[in-house]
A = this chain, B = another copy of it.
Amino acid sequence: MGCALCAAIKGHRRMLIDEPLSRWIEADYLLETYSEVEKVAAMMAGEQSSGTFIAIPGETEKLKSQYAASVTALTVLEDAVTTPSFPTTGWTQEAGRRLRRARLTLRWPLTNIGASLPNLLATIAGNLFELKQVTGLKLLDLRLPDAFADAYGGPRFGIEGTRALTQVEKRPLIGTIIKPSIGLSAHDTAQLVKALCEAGIDFIKDDELQSDGIGCPFDERVKQVMQVIHHHADKTGRKVMFAFNVTGDLDQMRKRHDVLLAHGATCLMASIHSVGLTGFIELARFSQLPIHAHRNGWGYMNRHPLLGWSYIAWQKIWRLAGADHMHVNGLSNKFSEDDDSVIQSAKSCHTPLFAHKPCVAMPVFSSGQTAHVVERTYQALQSTDLIFTAGGGILGHPNGLSAGVRSLRLAWDLALAGQSVATASAHDQDLRLALEMHA
């Protein structure tokens, strides 16, 4: 810092690292095949750019030099794989050849598609998962040139905007999900919100199953819930953030967004796999509220370790498209994901996408969360920039939901102060019962 030589070297390194990337799209894959990994990698590059299954007169060397994707890295892994990750049809195992796995990188000229997220999907994740030579293929990561940063807005609120709206600093937002997921009327929901506000909650969200059914119409729910939230804010000076699920057809999402604005709501929720990419990009362009991106359906994109998308790659698409909050599951969750994967996902949301446009989103922890996992979550994440949501963990607390919220706040305060939550629980019944909920 201050040294001209250091600055020059740093500048040079940046030039070497960043300059080529400004013209290339890159994606990393984990591949499994009976065939030669180098051959399959080259086939993937061909299939996803200028090639097809047979030589075509028009595919000249000049054309290839400008448009062909290339394999820029390939490392054969030494995993002992005996069973293919998924079966393949019409592919005869080559005599004596065993299953191999490799990590590889494909690179495309940006000019093939320009800075378009929808066309990016067809390019880096199009037909290649269907190749018969492939018995396992995971898209691990992707790197985009700066032109993408210029073409898309990224999160408009992100961590800072969310903190400003909720007035929560230096600790996670403590949140909850309305439960039962579906079945409460607008009035019931508002009553529950009232109790949650009084219990000290920061953030509440609709369950993704709650949308605009006749038992709890969206407009009525917003009206009644926001009345309660405003009333509470008038008394306390703090406005609880409620993420209303606007998921629906595009015209419905527009109307619901405007209803939210009219009622002074401060957040909307959308299920990314229900809305899809272009609808989400459009939502992010017109939304004047933070977007809470729910990832339900993620299992069919990722559950198999050798098929589909990694969260590392997937979250980049949605952050750039405009997601302010991204669901990442939670430690010791009720689903199948292990803790390391959850923390890696959360950290990926904190990692800048572009040097000049970081697009950092707030990770949302959820699924079976109680005070039990707070200390480990903080130790692993080493950050307070998260929304920590517990549905049953708050609403199902034996001493009621005030005790549920209190136990989580207390657990986080202890964890942030470097105290043992378990030790402290001997002195606090709410905390002790909260810990027992997960035992």
The closest CB in chain B to the CB of A131 belongs to B335
Residues of B within 8 A of A273 (CB): 121-122, 125
Question: Which among A10-18, A59-67, A413-421 touches the partner chain?
Answer: A59-67
- Determine if A209 and B126 form an interchain contact, defined as CB atoms under 8 angstroms apart: yes
Interface string of A309-342 (1 = CB under 8 A from B): 1000000000000000000010010111110000
Tell me if B280 and A276 are in contact (CB < 8 A). yes
Residues of B within 8 A of A392 (CB): 52-54, 56
CB pair A209 B128 closer than 8 Å: no
Question: With a CB–CB cut-off of 8 A, which chain B residues contact A332?
Answer: 90
- CB of A247 within 8 Å of the partner chain: yes
Determine if A36 is an interface residue (Cβ-Cβ < 8 Å). Answer: no
CB of A259 within 8 Å of the partner chain: no
Name the one of B86, B294, B300 contacting A305, with C-beta atoms under 8 angstroms.
B86
- Chain B, residue nearest A278 (CB): B279
Contacting B at CB under 8 A, from A277-299, are 277-282, 294, 296-299
* Shortest beta-carbon distance from A421 to chain B in Å: 20
With A66-B183, A89-B337, A395-B58 known as contacts, the answer to whether A303 contacts B111 (CB < 8 A) is no
How far is the CB of A87 from the nearest CB of chain B, in Å?
7
Which of A156-164, A210-218, A231-239, A343-351 contacts its partner? A210-218
**A57-B395, A277-B275 are contacts. A334–B132 as well, Cβ < 8 Å?**
yes
The reply to whether the CB of A192 lies closer than 8 angstroms to some CB of chain B is yes
**Nearest B residue (CB) for A273:** B121
Asked if residues B91 and A249 are in contact (CB atoms below 8 Å), the reply is no
Among listed A92-100, A112-120, A353-361, A375-383, interface-contacting one:
A112-120
When the two chains form their complex, are residues A89 and B396 in contact, meaning their CB atoms are under 8 A apart?
Answer: no
Measured CB to CB, the nearest residue on chain B to A119 is B211
Q: Name the residue of chain B whose CB is nearest to the CB of A127.
A: B296
Q: Which of B52, B116, B121, B281 contacts A250 (CB 8 A)?
A: B281
Q: Decide if B248 touches A118 in the complex (CB within 8 Å).
A: yes
Asked if B48 and A209 make an inter-chain contact with CB atoms under 8 angstroms apart, the answer reads yes
Q: Across the interface, name the chain B residue whose C-beta is closest to A64.
A: B183
Interface residues, chain A, with chain B CB atoms under 8 Å away: 48-59, 63-64, 66-67, 83, 85-91, 111-114, 116-119, 121-123, 125-132, 134, 137, 139, 179-184, 188, 192, 208-209, 211-215, 247-253, 271, 273-282, 294, 296-301, 303-305, 307-309, 329, 332, 334-338, 368, 391-393, 395-396, 437
21 A–B contact pairs at CB < 8 A? Answer: A48-B209, A50-B181, A53-B334, A54-B437, A56-B395, A58-B184, A58-B188, A67-B183, A125-B273, A125-B297, A126-B208, A126-B271, A126-B296, A127-B296, A129-B299, A130-B336, A132-B335, A250-B279, A278-B279, A300-B301, A300-B308
